[in-house]
Amino acid sequence: MSAKNSLRQGGLALWQRVETVFDAFFGTGGNPLRHLGALGFHFVWIALVTGIYLFIVLDTGIEDIHTSIEYYTHEQWWLGGIMRSLHRYSADGLVLVMLLHIAREFLYGRYHSFRWYSWITGVPVLWLVYASGIGGYWLVWDQLGLFSAIASAEWFDWLPIFSDPATRNFLPGLLNDRFFSLLVFLHIGIPLFLLLALWVHIQRVSQSDVFPARSLALGTFFMLLVLSLAKPTISHGKADLSVVPTVLHIDWYYLFIHPLMYLTSPAALWAMAGLFTLLLLALPLLPHPKQQPIAVVNPPNCNGCRRCFVDCPYGAIAMLPHMDKPGHELARVLPDLCASCGICAGACPSSTPFRSVDKLVTGIDMPQQPVGVLREEMEHRIAALAGQPRIAVFGCDCAADTKQLEGAGTAVFSLMCTGLLPPSFVEYALRSGADGVLVTGCREGSCAYRFGTRWTEERLTRQREPHLRPTVPEERLRLAWADGHEMSHLKATLDDFRQYLQSLGADEKRLRPYTPRRIAHHG
């Protein structure tokens, strides 16, 4: 293992343990570390709403802006002051979750193959967020805003792009209202470009998670509101070009670059920013595991039901007119977008193992793990189980290692993603001799393919098509989501399930055995 991968795996193990601690307090649905992308959008919405209010009520003249801000900060603290504080703290929160989001995606290795587009388009988002935030401090036009504006001008003066140094604009008597018109234009224009960049960033992600769960959204907003009341945002003294401030309270989320520049040099800061950007852009080009074969459509078995199209996490399925069935549609896989997850095969109604064909061929399937091969393997291995109770375990290659659960009374089937499992396979396993079925995979927010866990749970709880038939006894099925480091939790769940099945008895509410009658497949 390379040093980079070793470091990444070590960091991932630590991250997952911290996520587990947060799960205990917030649950997986409300765990902020599992929903950083959605939380980032939540902060964007708060900053936009509060920013629109501030733009409407503030005077933007060079002599009026600071007075106007001070009025709304202190005299109208119950609205304007809270709005200003929410605007500032939501912007800080955006930087925090954005950097954590980048770190998390890197640790999970989600920056290459079919994910390269989302990673690359996320890089401009990073710098647009910083440009928006820094420009906001200029607009306040207090001593901190003046310091930031001059430091930024000195930084850009190092580049040979201006005929006259930008810092000359800050000489006494040169600034006027047109300067603030420019600042307002930038502080409105850059966030608009940010929204465009975010839209581009999520283009290859189906059903993008841009709104966190209600509990997480409300909890986060309440936290910002309490922070705004407990420590409201206030200005430094009015900007004065003839005064050198002795104390400035830096917002280290955004303005750390200014002390860093003065500690080093403008050239060094440009070098660090450039190298960091190039590193982010180069990550998808570095050696990484080869992507697995993509999904394959079998036209004779595709009825154009669109379930694969709806369930695909990355929009890799397109529906086109069927070549052999007028008036019907045919699924088509877009190679550049396919994640090779198999969720589409789990959604296909023709993936049922109860089809009376000698060779099961489904409408859409994964060449490296065909549904027909899974049926044959399941039949043989369940028949070979010994003892009572006999349990079939369906797991995920990206989650806890289910192969460690293999035993005389346990048959384990590890899938590339739990989402590949058609619900009918649970019933088929019970009718083939299993006393119970345990389905496991990544926890919510950790699924390598976004919706594998969610779609599987909704299918098995009869909330999503294709769903588990009502005749299947719920007590014979157990769901247990466990990430890679939670093997002990999964083993304990299996032991508990085994004891529960023993208490039920072998014949109570068992499904009738299924005797397959196979005919030759000619499709």
Structure confidence at residue 161 as a pLDDT band (50, 70, 90): confident
Spatial contact of 473 and 452, defined as CB atoms under 8 Å apart: no
**Confidence band (pLDDT; 50, 70, 90) for 239?**
confident
Looking at residue 523, what is its pLDDT? 41
Region 356-365 average pLDDT: 90
Put the strands of the sheet holding 477-481 in their side by side order. 410-415, 391-396, 436-441, 477-481
| 71 pLDDT higher than 50 | yes
Residue 133 vs residue 8, higher pLDDT: 133
User: What's the mean pLDDT in 216-245?
Assistant: 91
Q: What is the pLDDT of residue 99?
A: 97
Q: For residues 330 and 63, which has the higher predicted lDDT (pLDDT)?
A: 330
CATH topology assigned to domain 35-285: Cytochrome Bc1 Complex; Chain C (1.20.810)
Check residue 84 and give its pLDDT. Answer: 95
**What local confidence, expressed as pLDDT, does residue 439 receive?**
97
Q: Is residue 476 pLDDT above 70, yes or no? A: yes
- DSSP, res 237: S
Considering the chain, what is the average pLDDT of its residues?
90
pLDDT band at 509 (very low <50, low <70, confident <90, very high): low
Return the H-helix or E-strand segment holding 458. Answer: helix 452-460
The pLDDT of residue 118: 94
Using pLDDT thresholds of 50, 70 and 90, give the confidence band for residue 521.
very low
Is 358 a residue whose pLDDT tops 90?
A: no
The reported pTM is 0.89
Indicate whether 505 pLDDT > 50.
yes
pLDDT in tens, 14-25: 999 999 999 999
Distance CA 30, CA 34 (A): 8
pLDDT value of position 64: 82
Residue 137 has pLDDT above 90, yes or no: yes
Mean pLDDT of 470-474: 91
Query: Is pLDDT above 50 for 486?
Result: yes
pLDDT band at 126 (very low <50, low <70, confident <90, very high): very high
Weakest-pLDDT range from 70-74, 169-173, 449-453: 169-173
pLDDT tens-digit series, residues 23-49: 999 988 899 999 999 999 999 999 999
Which range among 19-28, 121-130, 235-244 shows the weakest confidence by mean pLDDT?
A: 235-244
Tokens linked to 87: 């605007």
108 burial via Cβ count (<10 Å: 0-12, 13-18, 19+): middle
DSSP state of 342: -
Residue 406 has pLDDT above 70, yes or no: yes
Grade residue 2 by pLDDT with cuts at 50, 70 and 90: low
Asked if pLDDT for residue 185 goes beyond 60, the answer is: yes
Q: What is the pLDDT of residue 518?
A: 54
Distances (CA, A) of 464 to 183, 307, 436: 50, 10, 22
The Cα–Cα gap between 141 and 58 comes to: 12
pLDDT cut 90: percent of the chain above it: 71
Continuous segment of H or E residues that includes residue 197: helix 177-201
Name the residue among 478, 483, 510 with its Cα closest to residue 497. 478
pLDDT at 465: 94
Between 445 and 506, residue with greater pLDDT: 445
- The pLDDT confidence band at residue 127, using thresholds 50, 70 and 90, is very high
- Cα separation, 474 vs 87, whole angstroms: 48
Higher pLDDT, 229 or 521: 229
CB-CB contact of 344 with 371 (8 Å):
no
User: Residue 288: its pLDDT value, please?
Assistant: 84
At 175, the pLDDT band (50, 70, 90 cuts) reads: confident
Domain boundaries, the chain: 35-285, 296-504
pLDDT of the residue at 516: 60
Lowest mean pLDDT among 97-101, 273-277, 314-318, 504-508: 504-508
Quote the CA–CA distance of 353 and 422 in Å, as a whole number.
Answer: 9
Render the burial of 431-468: b for 16+ CB within 10 Å, e for the rest.
bbbbbbbbbbbbbbbbbbbbbbbbbbbbbbeeebebeb
Stretch 96-110: mean pLDDT: 95
Q: How confident is the model at residue 361 (pLDDT cuts 50, 70, 90)?
A: very high
The phi and psi torsions of 138 (rounded to 5 degrees) equal -65, -40
> Does the pLDDT value for residue 4 go beyond 80?
no
Share of the chain above pLDDT 70, in %: 95
